[in-house]
Amino acid sequence: MANRAWVFDLDGTLMDTLDLYRKPAEEAYTLIMRKLSSHPPSFNEIKSRHGALDKEMVYQKDPDTGKAYLYTKKRFPTSLVKIYEILCKEAGLEPSFSVMRQIYRIGLKAFNQERYRRKIKPQAFSIAKFLKEKGDTLVILTKGDKRIQGDKRRALQKAGLLKYFEEFIIVPDDKAEAFRMIMHRYAGEKYYSVGDTYMADIMPAIRHGYFGIYIPSPANWMEIGKLKRIERRRSKNRSNKYGNLMEIAEKYDYL
């Protein structure tokens, strides 16, 4: 029997994905400002309104598929195009098809596989090696589009990180059932879930008997403005809050 079983989130936990979206978004915002030069909204206004729109679209229906966008590859570039269309309408302008196409191409830059490899956190290798040498079982559980997360999986494989993990599991949205399945599939004296989003990575795992290792990030768009409230509500006896991945190694004997 493995000593312990560890389930790691990917985005924001093992991989720093903030810049993957930020840089293309900023390029698109700048283009929109230039194209609306006679009625220019501010950069911060576009950023704020696009961020809200992109979040809303996660559970909106894609007219081409009849299903929610969720975390598909299509949602992010589409939300950039939509904010351009909205701002054009408010300014009394006709959206340009060529500009919409250009904005969509900019949005797709967020999904470059070579950039994925550069975004793997150096501590991810250190903690994975440490836990593997302890005889523990490691699994990656990530939610999102299979194409996007599959490209990230290939980036992790090329970088040599996946050799420490038994499995790379992709779910479309809710992780709860996957936590239950992992517990039945892999034997362990204790089970841990490591992630940067309390509601998605920690709470559902706790309900299935895991201990949570919560490593919040102020750049996590799902938790912006909520960190203090989350900390007040966090289950202190069934989870720990750490500042980085290597705290797991430092406090391993006390977990």
CB burial of residue 170 (10 Å; 0-12, 13-18, 19+): buried
Spatial separation of the C-alpha atoms in residues 170 and 178, rounded to whole Å: 9
Q: How many CB atoms lie within 10 A of CB 36?
A: 18
pTM of the model: 0.84
What's the one-letter identity of residue 80?
A: L
Digits of tens for pLDDT over the chain (255 positions)?
Answer: 569 999 999 999 999 987 788 899 999 999 999 999 877 899 999 999 999 999 999 999 999 999 999 888 899 999 999 999 999 999 999 999 999 999 999 999 998 888 899 999 999 999 999 999 999 999 999 998 899 999 999 999 999 999 999 999 999 888 999 999 999 999 999 999 999 999 999 999 999 999 999 999 877 777 878 888 999 999 999 999 999 999 999 999 999
Question: What are phi and psi for residue 3, nearest 5 degrees?
Answer: -60, -55
**Is residue 227 a contact partner of residue 216, using CB atoms and an 8 Å limit?**
yes
Question: What are phi and psi for residue 61, nearest 5 degrees?
Answer: -85, 130
